[in-house]
Structures are given as C-alpha cells and as structure tokens.
C-alpha cells in the first residue's frame, strides 16, 4: 500500500496492480480496498491497465479530517490520480460514480469515464427529509447499526436484502464505517444536470438488466445528458454486474481510448 496526500493533508491509502494506462476505481457506499467489488475487478483488468484502488476517506487505511465536505472527496480523487501518474481513466460504482462525475466536472485529469448505475435522478424532485443528517444523528447517538440499516432503506435497497443485513458476517465492518454513509448521502445529490454538462470526456454508463426500473432509468438518463455519453445495459443482478461481464466491457471501452 502507498499513500497520497489530499489538499487538506488527509492521507489516502491506495495500491495499484498491472501495467498499462492508469485506471482508477472509485468505490460505492461502504466499499473500500478490504471490502467490495473493486479488488477482484482490478485483478481482472490488470493485464491491460495499471489499476488503482483506494480507500475513500474515513475507510480502511485512509484518514478522515473533519469537517467533511464533498469537495474534499473530489480533492482526494485528484490526489490519487496524481499519485498514480497523472491523467487517468476512471470507473465509479453507484455513489462512487457520482463522485467520479463531480471530479470530471471539476476538471480533474480524467481522460475517459465509466459509471456503473449512478443513482442520480435528473427528472425527479429531491427525496423528502435529509438522509445525511439523519445518519449523522444516529451515529452521534451511538446507533451505528441503525444508521447502516437506515441508509440502505433510504436509498431503496430491496426490503428482503435489508432484512438479513444485520446477520451478515461483514455487518460489524459496516458499523465501523457507518459515519461515511452520510458522506455518500451528500455526494449523490451534489450532481445535477448542470454538473453533467461540464463532463465533456467520453463516458460509458452501465446498468444491470436485472436492476429495477428506477436504477435502469437513471443510467439511461445520465448517459443521454452527458455530452459524450453512451448507455450500455449488461446482464447482471440487482445493482451489480459480475466481473466476468463488466471487465471485458470496460477493457473494450477504455482500450479504444488508449489506442
């Protein structure tokens, strides 16, 4: 593992595998190098790219300088791209895709972008309540398990998946980083239609054909709104596409850009 230093001095843990053009992977809520899909995806892409995975702030080996602001996470991504050698391809999943969009709109050295089911509702009114503030309150009260469950219910995870979450072997780990779920709850609504107009690089927006109408529709809408967006439905599960399907699609997309 290596570290990059963000603009506010926060140390961000990262690692890289493979060789070729740099490709940075941005995790979704609750994901980091020790948990989530990015590690196995990196291994699948390492024969074509130098793949960089990192711990978003507050997770894994990364620091968590307060107060939090969405802009700090954009600066973290900038630091990781720089540490990885400069301009990069970037792939983001869910709220990580929203973060990648914010980075591209801010002018980070991102040459191409792929997004797996960004949860961005361009044509819908904001959700009632303040999910981020509600998570903050639960964490402050010591109710981390409730915060994890409340977040997943709030973002629309199917009830049957939420029901068994507390019994999952990884649930204590999610409790430990429950406070970062409020970060993701702030990142996603920070992306607007105006934001997307500033993302001028080629962008591939992927969704699983087995996700619900809401997630599939959001992906299609984001692809349409991006100046160089392309929509690609792939076989998968709810809010996920296996490495066997996703890795070749990303390799083809980014490989064309490298050529």
Q: Is 137 helix (H, G, I), strand (E, B) or coil?
A: helix
Between CA 136 and CA 129 the distance in angstroms is: 13
Question: Of the candidates 220, 219, 259, 224, which has an alpha carbon nearest to the alpha carbon of residue 92?
Answer: 219
| pLDDT of amino acid 86 | 84
Q: Does the reported pTM lie above 0.85?
A: yes
Note the pLDDT tens digit of each residue in 7-24. Answer: 999 999 999 999 999 999
Note the pLDDT tens digit of each residue in 88-137. Answer: 999 999 999 999 999 999 999 999 999 999 999 997 666 557 999 999 99
């Amino acid at each position: 593992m290596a570290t990059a230093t963000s603009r506010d001095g926060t140390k961000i843990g990262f690692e890289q595998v493979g060789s070729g053009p740099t490709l940075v992977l941005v995790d979704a809520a609750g994901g980091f190098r020790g948990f989530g899909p990015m590690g196995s995806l990196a291994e699948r892409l390492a024969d074509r790219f130098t793949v960089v995975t990192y711990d978003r702030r507050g997770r894994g080996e990364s620091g968590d300088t307060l107060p939090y602001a969405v802009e700090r996470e954009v600066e973290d991504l900038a630091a990781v791209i720089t540490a990885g050698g400069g301009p990069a391809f970037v792939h983001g999943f869910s709220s990580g895709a929203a973060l990648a969009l914010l980075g591209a709109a801010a002018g980070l050295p991102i040459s191409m972008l792929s997004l797996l089911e960004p949860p961005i509702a361009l044509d819908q009114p904001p959700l009632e309540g303040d999910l981020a503030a509600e998570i903050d309150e639960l964490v402050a009260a010591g109710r981390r398990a409730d915060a994890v469950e409340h977040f997943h219910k709030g973002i629309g995870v199917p009830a049957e998946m939420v029901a068994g979450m507390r019994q999952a072997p990884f649930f204590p780990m999610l409790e430990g980083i429950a406070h970062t779920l409020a970060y993701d709850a702030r990142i996603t609504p920070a992306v607007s239609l105006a934001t997307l107009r500033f993302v001028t690089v080629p962008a591939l927006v992927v969704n699983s054909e087995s996700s619900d109408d809401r997630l599939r529709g959001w992906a299609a809408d984001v692809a349409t709104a991006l100046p160089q967006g392309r929509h690609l439905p792939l076989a998968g599960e709810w809010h996920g596409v296996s490495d066997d399907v996703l890795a070749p699609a990303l390799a083809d997309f980014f490989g064309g850009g490298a050529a």
